[in-house]
């Protein structure tokens, strides 16, 4: 621990793990009991614990959030040649998972909380497609639009009430990319009390190293549908139908979470509520130093995962922070501008381009000290006149 702290005095990272004796003890147990495969007891314990926490009956632990998104599309039977509505302002994994099953993403704009714009999704379905009572058909490509993939960005939540309504009206499946949103839930409306990732047909969490809780790498698929859960598990375990004779019923994947990852994840999940409180306190500590941060929605319980500020001098600010040994980053390059997707349809991308140019993520680790927050705030000070929303 001293080593890490010494390093952090010289460098303040964006978002790093926060481990303690509990993770160490669990990992030691996997080694001492020689239970390190996906059949180990921590994997099923983690699935059970996460199901209880998120109030869903079925959880399938897997290797990563990306694997979870792929499993979701496989389980839902999203066919080659069909289309899925995906936000352009997100990590590329969502679009890639659509491609993994041979479908094509249609890129959508974001709203003022950086989440998929539900109004534009509605507009797109209404104006650019026709619905024959069963299928939504894209007038331009003649492909069937099969699903919507809302992504909950940075600790804010997409408008699931609208998304689910649109999905119902047009017979679309919904896969929630809740990779960043574990611990977030709605506090009013139809889904009051429901956690991110538990409203659509399938939801996906990530436990990679920069997430609020981490297992090094890892993910989980959540659903209330037993058949979908069984399919996710089937595809994640090489589609094995007979474990003795190695009979495989389809093309499967080696996506199951391992026991060492699960051992860490179990200990981390116990700390999730504490981490959310720390994130909230640190967010408020920045604000109390005069740093106006991008807001978290008032009508949700946020997990305060990733802090952002707004600046018209994005690249200068990133450079200034780097000079002061502080890690920061701009938003991901928008998906519709990424090489593999240049030919894909996109629908009036406006706000995503605007926010991409002015949002900078700043350090938000749960183990950062008040000295760290002072140091980051000090570096942001010269930009304060423009760090305003």
Ligand X SMILES: Cc1ncc(COP(=O)(O)O)c(C=O)c1O
Per CB under 6 A, residues contacting ligand X are 64-66, 90-91, 93-94, 151, 177, 179-180, 206, 208, 219
Q: Which is nearer to ligand X, 93 or 136 (CB)?
A: 93
Strands 144-148 and 83-87: parallel
Q: Which is nearer to ligand X, 99 or 248 (CB)?
A: 99
User: Taking a C-beta distance cutoff of 8 angstroms, is the pair 222, 204 a contact?
Assistant: yes
> Smallest distance from the beta carbon of 76 to ligand X, in angstroms?
17
Residues facing 118 on adjacent strands: none
Q: Which is nearer to ligand X, 90 or 159 (CB)?
A: 90
Residues facing 196 on adjacent strands: none
Q: Which is nearer to ligand X, 177 or 372 (CB)?
A: 177
5: tokens are 């702290």
> Smallest distance from the beta carbon of 90 to ligand X, in angstroms?
5
> Smallest distance from the beta carbon of 172 to ligand X, in angstroms?
20
Q: Which is nearer to ligand X, 72 or 144 (CB)?
A: 72
> Smallest distance from the beta carbon of 339 to ligand X, in angstroms?
18
Any residues with CB less than 8 A from the CB of 56 and at least 6 apart, and which?
195, 198, 203, 222, 223, 224
Interatomic CA distance for residues 245 and 13, integer angstroms: 49
> Smallest distance from the beta carbon of 256 to ligand X, in angstroms?
14
C-alpha distances (whole Å) from 219 to each of 68, 207, 208, 255, 257 are 6, 5, 8, 9, 8
Q: Which residue number places its CB atom closest to ligand X?
A: 65
> Smallest distance from the beta carbon of 362 to ligand X, in angstroms?
17
Backbone angles phi, psi at 233, to 5 degrees: -65, -40
Q: Which is nearer to ligand X, 108 or 136 (CB)?
A: 108
Q: Which is nearer to ligand X, 265 or 387 (CB)?
A: 265
> Smallest distance from the beta carbon of 155 to ligand X, in angstroms?
11
CA geometry: angle 211, 307, 10, nearest 5 deg: 80
Any residues with CB less than 8 A from the CB of 302 and at least 6 apart, and which?
155, 156, 157, 184, 280, 296
């Amino acid at each position: 621990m001293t080593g890490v702290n010494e390093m952090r005095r010289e460098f303040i990272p964006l978002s790093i793990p926060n481990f303690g004796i509990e993770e160490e003890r669990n990992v030691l147990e996997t080694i001492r009991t020689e239970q390190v495969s996906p059949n180990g007891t921590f994997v099923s314990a983690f699935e059970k614990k996460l199901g209880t926490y998120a109030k869903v009956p079925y959880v399938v632990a897997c290797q990563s959030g990306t694997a979870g998104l792929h499993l979701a599309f496989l389980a839902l039977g999203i066919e080659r040649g069909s289309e899925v509505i995906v936000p352009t302002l997100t990590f590329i994994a969502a679009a890639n998972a659509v491609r993994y099953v041979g479908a094509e993403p249609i890129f959508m704009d974001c709203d003022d909380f950086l989440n998929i714009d539900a109004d534009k999704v509605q507009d797109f379905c209404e104006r650019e497609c026709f619905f024959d009572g069963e299928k939504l058909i894209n007038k331009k490509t003649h492909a069937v639009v099969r699903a919507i993939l809302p992504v909950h960005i940075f600790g804010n939540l997409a408008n699931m009430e609208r998304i689910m309504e649109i999905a119902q009206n047009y017979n679309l499946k919904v896969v929630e990319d809740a990779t960043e949103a574990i611990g977030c839930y709605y506090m009013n409306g139809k889904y009051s009390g429901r956690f991110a990732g538990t409203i659509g047909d399938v939801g996906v969490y990530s436990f990679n190293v920069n997430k609020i809780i981490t297992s090094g790498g890892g993910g989980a698929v959540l659903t209330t549908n037993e058949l979908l859960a069984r399919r996710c598990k089937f595809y994640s375990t090489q589609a094995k139908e007979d474990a003795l004779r190695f009979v495989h019923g389809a093309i499967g994947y080696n996506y199951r979470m391992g026991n060492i990852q699960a051992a860490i994840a179990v200990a981390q999940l116990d700390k999730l509520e504490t981490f959310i409180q720390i994130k909230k306190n640190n967010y408020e500590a920045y604000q109390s130093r005069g740093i106006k941060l991008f807001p978290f929605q008032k009508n949700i319980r946020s997990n305060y995962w990733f802090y952002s500020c707004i600046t018209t001098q994005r690249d200068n600010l990133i450079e200034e922070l780097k000079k002061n040994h502080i890690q920061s980053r701009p938003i991901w390059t928008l998906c519709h501008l990424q090489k593999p997707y240049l030919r894909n349809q996109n629908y009036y991308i406006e706000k995503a381009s605007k926010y991409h140019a002015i949002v900078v993520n700043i350090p938000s680790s749960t183990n950062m000290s008040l000295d760290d927050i002072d140091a980051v705030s000090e570096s942001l000070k010269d930009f304060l006149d423009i760090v305003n929303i």
